[in-house]
Amino acid sequence: MSILHIVNKSPYEKNSVAMAAGYAKEGDTVLLIEDAVYAAVKAGSASAKLSGLDVSVLGSDLAARGVAEDKLADGVNVVDYAGFVDLVEAKDSVQSWL
């Protein structure tokens, strides 16, 4: 059973990113949206929490916040809304870490 873990809170304000990372298993994907996109910035201390995981970020939320894609940690996938839907469809279930 694969799970899409969705996080929308800043890793510097809440522990949702750390919780999602802790629960993500092989075959799962962590999708960062809204304020959680800050977790994908390579130079930020929070990006270490996501190492070794399959991570995607919503591109429109990155752009809104002025985060350039070349600042992201290695291996992070940038998706658009259609890619978001594809991820939901590809996994067996969705867990939103509100």
Partner 1 sequence: MAEDIKKLMYVNRRAPYGTIYAWESLEVVLIGAAFDQDVSLAFMDDGVYQLMKGQNTEAAGMKNFSPTYSALGDYEVTKIYVEKESLEERGLTLDDLQHLVWEDEDDDWAERDSIHLVSRAELADVMAEHDMMFNF
Residues that bind partner 1 (CB under 8 A): 8-10, 12-13, 34-35, 38, 41-47, 59-61, 63-68, 71, 80
C-beta of 13 vs 92, nearer to partner 1: 13
Nearer to partner 1, 21 or 36 (CB): 36
For 14, the 3-state DSSP assignment is coil
Nearest distance, CB of residue 67 and partner 1, angstroms: 7
The one-letter code for the residue type at 22 is G
Instruction: Kindly state the smallest distance separating residue 2's Cβ from partner 1, in Å.
Output: 27
In the sheet with 93-97, reading across from the earlier edge strand, the strands are 77-79, 55-58, 29-32, 3-7, 93-97
- Cβ atoms of 24 and 48 within 8 Å: the answer is no
